[in-house]
Amino acid sequence: MNGEGGAARGISVVIPSWNGRALLEKFLPSVVESIGAFEKWSGLAAEIVVADDASDDGTVAWLGEHFPAVRCDTAAVRRGFAPTVNRGVRAARFSWVYVLNNDVALESNTLCPLIAHFDDPQVFAVSGQTYDFATGKLYGGGQWGEFRRGFLGVHERYFVREPDTASPTISGEAPYLSLWGSGGSTLYDREKYLAIGGFEELFAPYGWEDVEICVKAWKQGFATHYEPRSAIWHQFSSTIGPRFGRRRVRAVYERNRLWMHWMHLDTAGQFAAHAGMVVLRLLGDPFVLRWENWSALWQAVPEFPRVWARRKELLARRKLMLVEVFRRIAEAMRRKEVQAYREDVAPVRGCPYVAGRE
């Protein structure tokens, strides 16, 4: 595993944060412990970069007082999630960048199993298991997808039973594949991340940027892996939910979902099915007193020329179509230890970081 793009070999943990001092107080100590364990285990260097999005809650001063070893990259103007992450990745000093939400706890072994995946030069990103911080229930694992009813279905999940005994990077078997990795807990190859343009900044302030970047990477011939031995605990809805109304959030997500499709659908048939379903959704919204899809389209259409220009750039680099990506991931799931995710079969595991302090 060689350092790429002039960056030294090691991990930079990049934490985007906007008025997140309280969350950093709660979760940052677990990140410090985790990178210390990684450095001891691997012999490689690691750092933490907080990419602050113009906070006014004293985050910068608090970090300087309590965590002086943490680098804080600040902005004068708030720009949203994707631009803030991209700024943090550019500031990172090491070859792999772990993008982490400020409401996530790590364990000592979270980072260690991930880097072996990058022995394969085609690997773009690796993500692990996501547990609910409040309940301990497994919420996220590998992601698979399909095109149905005019849209890309990207939120179907799977997990691996007994992950400690199932390790393709050790056994030499084919790796577990994932359509995308969560933008709140995924390790990226920094050089590839920057080369393909990073998170799509048009999607600011939030939503779908993590799906889009991995789909973009897949279609350019790279791959995202799923490593079930790596685990994080996410305190869901800590950053967006308390600050923005539910309908506003949904409208922004649906806007970005439209842009994602306009950039990445491959065939005329997919576009026709997509257009038909958009119309049906718009016609149905008034009957359920919901207007988010209308708001999303209203926001999306003025940017269509910019989105279409981006699409043309991506088509020039395309090596795979979506159906081939879906096929490869489906094949990788055909193993006895793989379980399609359902809440009633999801394992529960308490956060060791919390348990160690009780």
Structure letter (DSSP) for residue 348:
B
| Whether residue 162 is found in the same domain as residue 236 | yes
| Whether residue 119 is found in the same domain as residue 194 | yes
CATH number of the structural domain spanning residue 22? 3.90.550.10
| Whether residue 143 is found in the same domain as residue 251 | no
pLDDT confidence of residue 2 = 40
Q: Tell me which residue has tokens 């002039």.
A: 6
- Residues 330, 331, 335: CA angle, nearest 5 degrees: 100
- Is 62 part of a structural domain of the chain? yes
pLDDT confidence of residue 355 = 53
- Is 341 part of a structural domain of the chain? no
| Whether residue 78 is found in the same domain as residue 103 | yes
Give 73-78 contacts, CB < 8 A, sequence gap 24+. 73/49, 75/51, 78/18, 78/53, 78/54
- Is 107 part of a structural domain of the chain? yes
pLDDT confidence of residue 224 = 98
- Is 335 part of a structural domain of the chain? no
Task: Report the C-alpha gap between 288 and 239 in whole angstroms.
Answer: 28
Contact 29, 356 (CB under 8 A): no
88, two tokens: 């943090």
| Whether residue 79 is found in the same domain as residue 159 | yes
Range of the structural domain that residue 73 is part of: 8-242+349-355
The amino acid at residue 70 is V
pLDDT confidence of residue 155 = 87
pLDDT in tens, 54-68: 999 999 999 999 999
Task: Report the C-alpha gap between 59 and 63 in whole angstroms.
Answer: 6
| Whether residue 91 is found in the same domain as residue 180 | yes
| Whether residue 13 is found in the same domain as residue 154 | yes
| Whether residue 155 is found in the same domain as residue 45 | yes
Among 116, 179, 175, smallest CA distance to 323 is for 179
Pairing of β 104-106 and β 223-234: antiparallel
- Is 287 part of a structural domain of the chain? yes
| Whether residue 170 is found in the same domain as residue 284 | no
Residues of the chain under the 70 pLDDT cut: 1-6, 165-172, 238-244, 354-358
pLDDT confidence of residue 169 = 59
- Is 298 part of a structural domain of the chain? yes
pLDDT in tens, 23-81: 999 999 999 999 999 999 999 999 999 999 999 999 999 999 999 999 999 999 999 99
* Residue 250: CB atoms within 10 Å: 17
Q: Tell me which residue has tokens 């985007």.
A: 16
- Is 328 part of a structural domain of the chain? no
| Whether residue 180 is found in the same domain as residue 210 | yes
Looking at the DSSP assignment, which residues form a beta bridge with residue 137?
348
| Whether residue 97 is found in the same domain as residue 238 | yes
- Is 196 part of a structural domain of the chain? yes
Q: For the chain, what is the domain count?
A: 2
pLDDT confidence of residue 77 = 95
| Whether residue 211 is found in the same domain as residue 282 | no
pLDDT confidence of residue 3 = 42
